[in-house]
Structure 1
Amino acid sequence: MIRLSPRMKHTLYQRKHIVFLTILVFLVTLMTLTTPQGNGAFVTNDSDEFLISLWKERQRGVSQVNRRVNQVEELAKGPLKEDDPELLRLLKERYLAKPSDKPTNLMLDRDDARAQNYNVYRTAFHSWIRINKILKKLFSGEPPHFFVEAGALDGEFISNTLYLEQDLGWTGLLVEADPLLYAGLPGKNRKAWSSQTCLSPSDVAERLTFETYEPRDDRDVAAALLVRSTGNLAGIRSPALGQMGSKIPVEVQCFPLFSYLLALDATSVGYVSLDVEGAEAEILLHLPWDRVDVTVWNIEHRETNEGFKIHYEEPWGIRAPPVPPRSPPSGSLGGHEGGEGKERENKKGEGEDVLPPKKVVYVTQHDPASGKDPYLVRFMKEKGYRLYDYWDGDYTFIKADSEIC
């Protein structure tokens, strides 16, 4: 048996006393903290339920947000007004890709055989060459601004805005409805927003059918891209008339042009390129012109789209009745000046007014100075624009009170 000295016994007693006091203080503190009336009650059963309820509330909030976004997505199929805040949020979060911060990756910078075929437009496509020269003349001395290109294809081929971005430091928005064409756009690393959607032919967002064209032979990359570039909204009379390849319908989300500008806070625009294969009249007629400021427009438009004509001649959506033939006044030559009117009257019968046939420019017609649509020119003039250039269905309008004009 081990015998302890009185000194050792006293030391052990003191240590036991200290341990006991420490345990006692810990237990008292723990009881205080775990009492419901205590200020620090955070580990009680009630507190656990409170934390669980907070977590559940947060999950419900996330679920409600997702459900609301899905509801807006459904509403965006049509109709949802162009300036609806929910629509603008949906557009920016789900349908707009941000500008790239990577170096550009363009066919322009390559010299292999495929790139040479791809870049043939820079020396052979007169329409692109003419527009490029116009943009250099108008904007070479101007500060960077915002552009919009509707019908952007893959972001490089016959792009009207690539010069503004690369040489002048602009940014903007590229819109392309064809999913296969758009698939090549992100890899170009353009310094602009982009969207695989289409411009709505009305003032509401809607889901529409887009008819893209599959080339019958894609060995010639430039020719294949030209075929795909003729895609158009179903029901819209396209200049190509669907003769360029095999038609493939796809469903595409469409937004009014004004919605894109609001979503990007860019209602002041330096340049808009509108090449939408026949839907330009509907897009422009529904644009709230008093809420946007565009300096220069490039619009591809053919007289085969009678939207502007209908706007002026059939303002209520009802076809205007034909003008009855006028009876020639006594002593006149059938209502026409000179003998030409009399000759027409003799050929067609008394009182019948014969008009010369209307000349229409089609894609295959080689008369680029003809085919100007006076109704489009009138419409843009009423909106404050002057026609700067016209060539083969391509119109350049400049805002009359702008510094450039």
Structure 2
Amino acid sequence: MGAFNGQLFSNTMWLERKHNWTGLLIEANPDLCRQIDALKRHAWRLCACISNKLRKTKFIQSGAIGCIASECDNDHMKMIKSKQTISVPCFNMVEIINQIGVQHIDYFSLDVEGSEMIILESIRNELISGKIVVNIWSIEYRTWDGKKNVVKESFQKLQNLRIFFGNIGGYVEHSQLNNEHGDNRDGMALDVVFVRT
């Protein structure tokens, strides 16, 4: 989720091309959705945001760093050059996976520029009940202001993710991921990986 253009920075294209993976790409920016469509990926594509409360929301279009307007923190806003805002539809994640007929997800990549906890909270009950099963999560948590990692904010996001997965149970933190020579200490890495036990 947070598919960008379906190719650059993709966590799933290699799985699709080398291992016949199929899945669901979700991106709120309609310009990027058109780029995904042009790639003819072997995956469903949804151009929307995920919410169990909203039916539409304001989205700031800004390439790879676009975000839901109400969720863009001050650090994230420092990076955004164009503040063009559009209205995008929102769908409930449970409705979406029921529509495509998939309740067991092998890999869930969550990179939505600050809205990660909103997405997770929207499916909390389904994860606890087993209505939705996810084997592996990779979740971006680093807060970047365009020049540097905002360590305190990044660390807090990581802690929130740890609390969430601790509360729902059935997951362990596997590792943290970074760029090639990055620092994988708490608050410094790019993504955290949780694995179902």
- Pairwise TM-score range, normalised by the shorter structure: 0.7 to 0.9
**Correspondence list, 1:167-246, <5 A:** 167-200=18-51, 203-213=52-62, 228-238=63-73, 240-246=76-82
Quick check: 2:79–2:145 contact (8 Å CA) kept in 1? Answer: no
Q: Take 1:298 and 1:240, find their aligned partners in 2: how far apart are those partners?
A: 20
Superposition TM-score, scaled by structure 1 size: 0.41
Quick check: 2:79–2:146 contact (8 Å CA) kept in 1? Answer: no
**Correspondence list, 1:55-204, <5 A:** 150-200=1-51, 203-204=52-53
Letter in 1 for 2:93: L
Greater relative contact order structure (CA < 8 Å, 6+ sep)? 2
Shift of 1:294: 0.3
Match of 1:114 in 2: none
Q: Take 1:294 and 1:280, find their aligned partners in 2: how far apart are those partners?
A: 15
> How many residues are treated as equivalent by the alignment?
177
- SS at structure 1 position matched to 2:59: strand
Spell out, residue by residue over 1:205-227, the C-alpha distance to the aligned partner (whole angstroms, 9 max, x if none).
511111112xxxxxxxxxxxxxx
Q: How has the CA–CA distance of structure 1 residues 266 and 151 changed in structure 2, closer, same or farther, with 3 Å as cutoff?
A: same
Match of 1:301 in 2: 141
Letter in 2 for 1:379: F
- SS at structure 2 position matched to 1:272: strand
- SS at structure 2 position matched to 1:296: strand
Match of 1:386 in 2: 172
Q: Take 2:121 and 2:38, find their aligned partners in 1: how far apart are those partners?
A: 34
Q: Take 2:100 and 2:24, find their aligned partners in 1: how far apart are those partners?
A: 9
Q: Take 1:169 and 1:191, find their aligned partners in 2: how far apart are those partners?
A: 8
Spell out, residue by residue over 1:357-389, the C-alpha distance to the aligned partner (whole angstroms, 9 max, x if none).
xxxx75633598x73622321211232211111
Q: Take 2:53 and 2:6, find their aligned partners in 1: how far apart are those partners?
A: 26
Match of 2:160 in 1: 375
Q: Take 1:375 and 1:155, find their aligned partners in 2: how far apart are those partners?
A: 28
Q: Where do 5+ consecutive residues of structure 2 fail to align?
A: 177-183
Letter in 2 for 1:387: E
Residue identity over aligned pairs, in percent, reads 30
Q: How has the CA–CA distance of structure 1 residues 180 and 242 changed in structure 2, closer, same or farther, with 3 Å as cutoff?
A: farther
Q: Take 1:300 and 1:196, find their aligned partners in 2: how far apart are those partners?
A: 20
Letter in 2 for 1:210: F
Q: Take 2:57 and 2:37, find their aligned partners in 1: how far apart are those partners?
A: 23
Shift of 1:164: 1.1
Q: How has the CA–CA distance of structure 1 residues 193 and 245 changed in structure 2, closer, same or farther, with 3 Å as cutoff?
A: same
Quick check: 1:256–1:283 contact (8 Å CA) kept in 2? Answer: no
Please, what is the CA RMSD of the aligned residues? 2.1
Match of 1:365 in 2: 148
- Is 1:292–2:77 an aligned residue pair? no
For the pair shown, the structure with the greater C-alpha radius of gyration is 1
**Deviating runs (4+, > 6 A) in structure 1?**
none
Shift of 1:244: 2.7
- SS at structure 2 position matched to 1:195: strand
Q: Take 2:85 and 2:133, find their aligned partners in 1: how far apart are those partners?
A: 34
Q: Where do 5+ consecutive residues of structure 1 fail to align?
A: 1-149, 214-227, 305-360, 401-405
Quick check: 1:371–1:393 contact (8 Å CA) kept in 2? Answer: no
Q: Take 1:366 and 1:212, find their aligned partners in 2: how far apart are those partners?
A: 22
